[in-house]
Structures are given as structure tokens and as C-alpha cells.
Amino acid sequence: MAESGSTMREYRTEELAEAAGIPVRTLRFYRERKLLPPPRREGRIAWYDDQHLARLRTIAALLERGHTLGGIAELTAAFEHGRDVGQLGELLGIGWSEETPVRLTPEALADYFEGEVTPENLAASLDLGYLATDGEEIVHVSRRLLDVSSALVGEGVPLAAVLETARRVREHADALAALFTDLISTHLTADTGTGTGTADDPVTRLRPLAKSVVEAELTMAMDRLHQSRTPAPQTPSP
């Protein structure tokens, strides 16, 4: 294993495969499919670095979410040919999301989460689909989620706890999305559109109403919980 600069770790082929948890033949297959950028070479020795490891974890996360290698190759090619980062959502299968992806250097990501950018937290972020890699840059899928996560970490909440909470919130959010989508689809069948994100699609058109209901209910629920946990003021003795 070699070092490049003060922080960049480098791996031989076998070391990178072991770090990524894949067979060497799989790593070589990804290279042949151009899913990985070329390694640095010293004679006949190929040296990979942490960016290659992050790309492999991105591939694993996308495969886990049901993407094919062909689709992942399209995503990789799109970034390498300069496609606008705003198209990340479409390529990841969230084409009509309102979220704005953000490009970051590894150094900028470290600035957002000082001391918290560990391999474990990076893997969790990749598994959630929050992060993807594009050469030397990292893409976060949502400016809002990035800012909120950074703010929580800035207040002293460990990033690992933030990501675990995000995973649990995702489960509830999926259930709420299904609830409102079923409600709208069942009772507004006269509208045109079939949930494809077009302007005349009732799910798209009424999504702000669902968001308002969820926000109001969450606010009231947090108020009730706070009140239940706050000791009642004691009446002073006469």
C-alpha cells in the first residue's frame, strides 16, 4: 500500500477488492465496463485510491436499490461527459424530485461534517442514496438534507445517529407517500395523468397539500411530545 500526499490512501488491486468486499474478478469486470476511472500506474502495478473505493461503494448501493450495471454505466458516463448535476435524480430513478443535488469535493464534504466523514458514515450515506461519486467529486442528492444534516452535526449530534434516524424516517416517509398517493389515485380518477410527474397528474398537482398535512401533524406531534416530557411547574408553598 502506498501514500499519495498526506491523506490519500492507495491500494493494489487485491487490497481495493478486499476493502470493497468484492472479488478481484468483479473489480476487473467493473474496470472493463468503465465503471471505474483508470488507476495510477507504476510500471506494471496499478494503484487505486479512496475515490475508487467510494465509486465501488456507490455501485454496490445502486445495485442494492435495483439499478442494473447498464444503468450505472449510463450514470457514470453522464457525469464524465459533463451532464448537469440536476439530472442526477432522473438517472437514479427520482426524476421529478424537487430536491437539488449538490457537487462537493471530498474536502468540502469534510468541512460540512468536520471529523465525522468516516468510512462507516460514507457507506451509510451511499446505502441511503444520499451520496454518489463523480470522478474526484461527490454528489449529494439533496441540498436541504445536506444542510439539515450538517446543522445537526454542528449542534453536536453524531453523524452516525443522524444517518440512522434518516433511515428510519425514510421508512415512515415511504409509508406516508403510499398513503397519500393511494388516497389521491382512488378519489381523483377523473384527472388525467398516471403518476408520471406531469403537470396534469393529480399526485403531482396535490403533492403540496400532502406536504402541508405532514408538516402540520409533525409539528403538533412534537409539541405534544415536548409537553409530555416537560415537568409541570411546581406551585410554591404558601
Q: Which residue, chain included where needed, has cell 406551585?
A: 235
pLDDT (tens digit per residue) in 137-194: 788 888 899 999 999 999 999 999 999 999 999 999 999 999 999 998 888 864 444 4
Quick one: average pLDDT of 27-45?
Answer: 88
CA angle 211, 213, 214 (to 5 degrees): 65
Report field, pTM of the whole predicted structure over 0.85:
no
pLDDT of the residue at 107: 84
Residues in contact with 95: Cβ distance below 8 Å, sequence separation at least 6, in sequence order: 89, 197
What does the pLDDT look like over 112-148, one tens digit per residue?
998 898 888 888 888 888 887 766 678 888 889 999 9
Query: Tens of pLDDT along 203-228?
Result: 878 888 888 999 999 999 999 999 99
Alpha carbon separation from 213 to 42, 71, 144, 191 (Å, rounded): 59, 35, 19, 22
In this predicted structure, what is the pLDDT of residue 147?
94
User: What is the identity of the amino acid at 58?
Assistant: T
Distance linking the first and last C-alpha atoms of the chain: 76
